[in-house]
Chains A and B, each alone.
Chain A
């Protein structure tokens, strides 16, 4: 492996890690606050991507620059509509009930959304790479790469990380979320509406997944099954980091992204194996994840 390939692998890894981080952090946030493993999370990712494709194909003839707001709009729409509906009508009746049921109802939501996606957008691959073409290529140590992937995606991921940290640690709304996570009963006793906190958190988490999908759109083709693949991958990242660990998720996403990128150049057939093998090894030694404390109830 020469240095050009190595740089290429690093760039691949970073851009991939940025997308995976966005999805995983949503999953981790939802688990941290609601204690629900959201199996439908991959569907938010897929829906975000597909709706972004619809939006950007619609606005691209007007001005290709409009595709950027279209991506963001698509992810917010999916986060609020799909996330909101699922939390309000599927999860809310089940709080305090068996964990299995909560997990399984999101699995049911996944099945429904998976089919809806085929019914709405069909099964043919969809491409829409206007945003990618708008930004020029840049040269990193002599390797040409799209600046969309090496600059924009990591910047969005980084801003998300910093923004989320700031929101949770420094704002009142964040403090309220932290309070409910820490002790729901005590928080309710001092007048916090825990149901609303759950609702809002779920929408935020779902929006991150949809944003990950929307931003992935220019770099990949949309195919049925992309949601199912993404949910296990993001789950592997979130679990390896420790569910509910936001900074840890970022580090783990980068780790898995880089490992995967290097493996692709060295031994491509093991590409999909890497994240799961890493997950097995980490969980065997540290079931709470790399960054999880033994007390898991934390975001």
Chain B
């Protein structure tokens, strides 16, 4: 398996290198790449669940939790540090992921997706309607935090957050791969292929899925915190169902079979949005929608699937 994925690891290395170097020459790319990396971290969580054959259509609830933990801290406590925000975002989304996970673990496929959607819509309506605490649909501004006690100018800050995102993304990328290669990760995949047999082996499929779910919530929270810091705002729209759909979209676009799919998909998605949104305000979704349709119909393994010559993952996946 390691040999088969080598070209992908090379591509991943090149991608991370480009993300680190290219923005030094084109300053507007700093934010673009930071967003790509932050979104990729969330999508890594979606890919984890896809390994178990489960699709969460409510994952934006963890994303929005991460974003709002930074926003609330800024609003009610004041001051702030990237590291503090990340710890807060990760902790709150992990706790939420554990609590929600305890409930959704009991269900699979459409019921799993539905229940996730329902939970996320409850959170969204609370954020949207508790105007007094959350400013409603306008959201809460996230003031530019410091980093390890240092303050930065806006120009320097976009690079700081880029490199923070890059480090976390690389760690998450290798962490997720390590996890998927571990016994626990293999058991996660076994939920997709044959859950009954997994139970026969004496493991609890629910517990295996719960671990995967909590990790994926953790990644969602970190990504949400990063996006809130990058865009300097947290709005309820971060937790709306279309956001959840967007993450699944990116995962399928990039390819759910390998962790790098998250990065390939997010890069494609954000680049199209970055350039198309400027020229065609009301058409960038249309373009992405058409791209997704083409990918699903003609390349169901996603962008990274183009590189895989043999069809083994196809046979295993469907």
Say yes or no: B292 contacts A228, CB within 8 Å.
no
B249/A112 in contact, CB under 8 A: no
A282-299 residues with Cβ-Cβ distance < 8 A to B are 283-284, 287-288
Distance of B280 from chain A, by nearest CB (Å):
9
Which residue in B50, B111, B125, B245 is a CB contact (below 8 Å) of A272? Answer: B125
Query: How many Å lie between the Cα of A67 and that of B88 in the bound state?
Result: 56
What distance in Å separates the Cβ of B142 from its nearest Cβ neighbour in chain A? 24
Residue A118 is within 8 A (CB to CB) of chain B in the complex = yes
Interface size on A, residues (CB 8 A): 44
Chain B interface residue count, Cβ-Cβ cutoff 8 angstroms: 45
Is A243 interfacial (CB-CB < 8 Å)? yes
Q: Is A138 an interface residue, CB under 8 A from the partner? A: no
Stretch at the interface among B102-110, B182-190, B218-226: B102-110
CB distance from A97 to the nearest CB of B (A): 6
Q: A283–B114 contact, CB under 8 A?
A: yes
For B78-109 the 0/1 string (1 means CB < 8 A from A) is: 00000000000000000000000001001101
Interface residues of A in 93-113 (CB under 8 A from B): 93-94, 97-101, 103-105, 107-112
Residues of A within 8 A of B110 (CB): 37, 99, 243
With most chain A CB atoms within 10 A of its CB, the pick from B114, B125, B252 is B114
Cα A276 to Cα B122 in complex, Å, equals 6
Q: In the docked arrangement, what's the CA distance between A83 and B150, Å?
A: 56
Chain A residues within 8 Å of B131, by CB:
269
Instruction: Confirm or deny: B143 has a beta carbon within 8 angstroms of a beta carbon on chain A.
Output: no
Say whether A232 faces chain B, with CB atoms less than 8 Å apart.
yes
Q: Is B7 among interface residues, defined by CB-CB distance under 8 A?
A: no
Q: When the two chains form their complex, are residues B286 and A111 in contact, meaning their CB atoms are under 8 A apart?
A: yes
* 8 nearest CB pairs, A to B: A111-B289, A112-B289, A115-B286, A276-B121, A108-B292, A118-B282, A273-B125, A269-B129
Interface residues of A (CB under 8 A from B): 37, 39, 90, 93-94, 97-101, 103-105, 107-112, 114-116, 118-119, 123, 228, 232, 235-236, 239, 243, 269-273, 276-277, 279-280, 283-284, 287-288
